[in-house]
Amino acid sequence: MACSSSRLPAALGRLSRRSLLLAPFSALAQPLSSPAQLHFQPASDGSFHFDTGVLKGTFRQEGRSIGLLPATYSPNEINLATSMGLFGLYRTFANGKRYGTGMWYVPSEAALQPDGSVMVKWPTAEERPFAITANYRFSAPNALDLRLDVTAGEDLLRFETFLAAYFGASFTSAKVLVKGGRLMAAEPANGRWQMFPRDSEAAQWIYDGRWKFPPNPVDWVKMPDFERPVAIRTDPVAGLSAVILAPASDCFAISTPDETDSHHSTYLSLFGKDLKRGATAHARARLLFLTSADAKQLRSLYRRFVSGGRPAPR
């Protein structure tokens, strides 16, 4: 239905005000098709730089096997990452063993791909009977997607890759979407190290002894089962949230220290499978930053991710 000329200014005014209110969210939510700004750029020291217009920083600083570090939220220069960065592979377990102290200490090779993503490879070794390939790709200006492929060099029982994200000091709120439909805060009263399993079977993995190996053993407190593998870290002053997602078939636990802990970290336990020698398994995860997120929006983000959709919420 056409709008009369007398009503047009008022209608435009309402539209402008609505656009301004939605602008911070929409600017992040609208992915670009495949622009150059979503591509990593290789550096001479083995690093890969990125500047999507929303996220800016470095991946694999000086060629090391770590995640995004430094990383900045460009609109207001918020520091997003500390320690070993965002989405770095940490511990790996199988056959009742922990393989080394962390995959970020294991030499790896990385190469820029034609689509602007980066492929990282950890080869099989005598002390590590599996090969891991990781593909890092920006699927939107505010979203990083990770695909992991692990190939077994021998039979692997209860294989796990522990994916780590260490956020900036301002991200002092940590929550997980638990069964019952609520976002549960990682409050100090619940214990220092908190783990939210997928179900009772996954909970058994947590306590099978894998977390007792030195150095740095961890005593996890079992929390309620997650509803979906959805975790959120928030800078409450800036109103900026980091959302971590993984398909339930790929992730059997979410963990975090209490939200006041100086690590400011969130972790995913990926795979959770037995692998026969020569078999390859796959897992996916997504990290995205939003200026607004509630339980309903998080469920929408999850559905879109597992179905292969773009990062924008409905």
pLDDT band at 3 (very low <50, low <70, confident <90, very high): very low
d(CA 146, CA 162) in angstroms, rounded, equals: 13
Provide φ and ψ at 11, rounded to 5°: -65, -40
What is the pairing mode between strands 221-222 and 265-275?
unpaired
| CB-based contact 156:129 (threshold 8 Å) | yes
Intra-chain end-to-end CA distance of the chain, in Å: 25
pLDDT in tens, 210-251: 999 999 999 999 999 999 999 999 999 999 999 999 999 999
Confidence of residue 309 (pLDDT cuts 50, 70, 90): confident
Q: What is the pLDDT of residue 16?
A: 35
CA distance 245 to 259: 18
DSSP type of residue 128: B
HSE-CB at 202 with a 13 A cutoff on CA atoms is 25
Report CA Rg, the chain: 20
Largest CA distance in the chain: 78
3-state secondary structure of 205: helix
Percent of the chain topping pLDDT 70: 88
The 10s digit of each residue's pLDDT in 112-133 is 999 999 999 999 999 999 999 9
**Cα angle: 237, vertex 242, 243; to 5 degrees:** 140
In the predicted structure, residue 1 carries a pLDDT above the cut 50: no
Collapsing DSSP to helix, strand or coil, 38 comes out as helix
pLDDT at 312: 59
Least confident of 6-15, 40-49, 290-299: 6-15
Q: Which fold has domain 39-306?
A: Beta-galactosidase; Chain A, domain 5 (2.70.98)
Single pTM value for the model: 0.89
Q: Report phi then psi at 9, rounded to 5.
A: -60, -40
Residue type, 229: P
Does position 70 have pLDDT exceeding 60, yes or no?
A: yes
* Contact predicate 152/130, CB 8 Å: yes
pLDDT at res. 310: 72
- The answer to whether 264 and 149 have CB atoms below 8 angstroms apart is no
Cα–Cα–Cα angle for 162, 248, 158, nearest 5°?
50
Asked whether the beta carbons of 38 and 51 are under 8 A apart, the reply is no
Q: What angle do CA 283, 310, 110 make, to 5 degrees?
A: 45
Q: Determine the Cα–Cα distance for residues 193 and 222; give it in Å rounded to an integer.
A: 9
Q: Specify the amino acid at residue 139.
A: S
What percent of the chain stands above pLDDT 90? 85
- Of the listed ranges 25-39, 60-74, 158-172, the least confidently predicted one is 25-39
Q: Where are the domains of the chain?
A: 39-306
Candidates 99, 201, 119, 212; CA nearest to 159 is 99
